[in-house]
Amino acid sequence: MNLYQCSIDLKDDAKAVAFAVAVEAWMTHLQSNGVIQTWRLCRRKLGFGAPVARDFQLEIAVENMTQLDQAFRFTGTHDEQTERLYTTVHQMVGVADMALFRPFPDPERAERMALI
């Protein structure tokens, strides 16, 4: 399992509850199409956190890098519903930072692997 983590601040005019509803619709769409496993949206509590901490954390679990690639490709399809759901979420996002995490230690011990 890999975690695609998004740290998000909304645009000034975006509403938090509307964002949460839009994220749920978008993530449910991705999940029902088999391109993600699970997801979770969290909001920073009471403004507590480091000065660089964003307001929302969205964690998206994918089985492997192949599934993550499928999710990106699916997002790029020009199907009306997919485009509408994505756009609804994306238009509320002001700033977002992404990272990819994996369980550690993992069976592959990736630190010791290299192609060259």
Tell me the per-residue pLDDT of 57-109, one tens digit each, with 9 for 90 and over. Answer: 999 999 999 999 999 999 988 899 999 999 999 999 999 999 999 888 776 66
Predicted pLDDT at 103: 84
Name the average pLDDT for the chain.
91
| Domain ranges, ordered by start, for the chain | 2-47+56-101
The pairing of beta strand 38-43 with beta strand 56-62: antiparallel
The listed CATH number (3.30.2420.10, 3.40.50.620, 3.30.70.100, 3.30.230.70) that belongs to domain 2-47+56-101: 3.30.70.100
The pairing of beta strand 93-101 with beta strand 56-62: unpaired
Q: Report the predicted TM-score, pTM, of the whole model to 2 decimal places.
A: 0.87
Residue located via tokens 């997002």: 75
Beta carbons within 10 angstroms of residue 37's beta carbon = 16
Q: Where are the beta strands (DSSP E) in 1-116?
A: 2-10, 38-43, 56-62, 93-101
